[in-house]
């Protein structure tokens, strides 16, 4: 299977500045992306989404992921890793680019592209996992601006 990239889009009922804050601050990321986050908006600063807060360090989620670059308020790029259960490829980082495009008054189109895939074995599993997972993230982002922050205890 040839794995090139994953692309997802969402129309969010919020300004690019508000969506930018959601993607680039710890408080913002906690409203839609993960129950906890470590974000240092600097080149090679941390961009870690923590999904399983009870897991040991290194298995909570996106530990070790880094900011690769940004152009406020329109583009964010970060490294990404496979989930802990895909240990063979977890340390071989991929990259995610998020573009924020104004879509009329009070709306933003979010375009997410995930690149850097290997082939075979757990790479195929990781690709399939994120093809579904990014849909969930994008739905939660849109929902966060439509009805409020995600209640992680209810998810």
DSSP per-residue codes, 78-141: EEE---TT-HHHHTS-EEEEEEEEE-STT-EEEEEEEE----STHHHHHHHHHHHHHHHHHHHH
152 assigned to some structural domain: no
pLDDT at 1: 47
Sign of the CA dihedral with 136 first, then 43, 116, and 8 last = positive
> Is 153 part of any domain?
no
For 26-58, how does the pLDDT look when each residue is reduced to its tens digit (9 = 90+)?
A: 999 999 999 999 999 999 999 999 999 999 999
Q: Give residue 155's pLDDT.
A: 83
Residue with tokens 């790479």: 123
In angstroms and rounded to an integer, the radius of gyration of the C-alpha atoms of the chain is 15
C-beta separation of 46 from 38 below 8 A: yes
CATH number of the domain residue 63 falls in: 3.30.530.20
Confidence bin at 3 (pLDDT 50/70/90): low
Report residue 2's pLDDT band, with 50, 70 and 90 as the boundaries. low
The answer to whether residue 70 is domain-embedded is yes
Is 57 a domain residue?
yes
How much is the average pLDDT of 103-107? 93
| Number of domains, the chain | 1
- Over residues 149-155, the mean pLDDT reads 92
Q: Is residue 39 part of a domain?
A: yes
Query: Which domain, by its residues, includes 54?
Result: 5-147
The pTM assigned to this predicted structure is 0.95
If you average pLDDT over every residue of the chain, what do you get?
95
Q: Can you tell me the distance from the alpha carbon of 46 to that of 11, in angstroms, rounded to the nearest whole number? A: 27
């Amino acid at each position: 299977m040839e794995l090139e990239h994953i692309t997802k889009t969402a129309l969010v009922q919020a300004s690019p500045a508000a969506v930018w804050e959601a993607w680039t601050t710890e408080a913002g990321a906690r409203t839609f992306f993960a129950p906890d986050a470590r974000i240092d908006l600097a080149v090679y600063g941390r961009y870690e989404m923590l999904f399983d807060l009870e897991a040991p360090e290194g298995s909570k989620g996106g530990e070790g992921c880094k900011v690769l670059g940004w152009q406020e308020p329109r583009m964010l790029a970060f490294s990404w890793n496979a989930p802990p259960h895909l240990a063979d490829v977890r340390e071989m980082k991929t990259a995610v680019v998020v573009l924020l495009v104004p879509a009329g008054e009070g709306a933003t189109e979010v375009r997410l592209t995930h690149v850097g895939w290997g082939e075979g074995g757990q790479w195929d599993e990781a690709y399939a996992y994120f093809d579904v997972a990014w849909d969930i993230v994008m739905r939660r982002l849109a929902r966060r601006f439509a009805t409020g922050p995600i209640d992680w205890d209810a998810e």
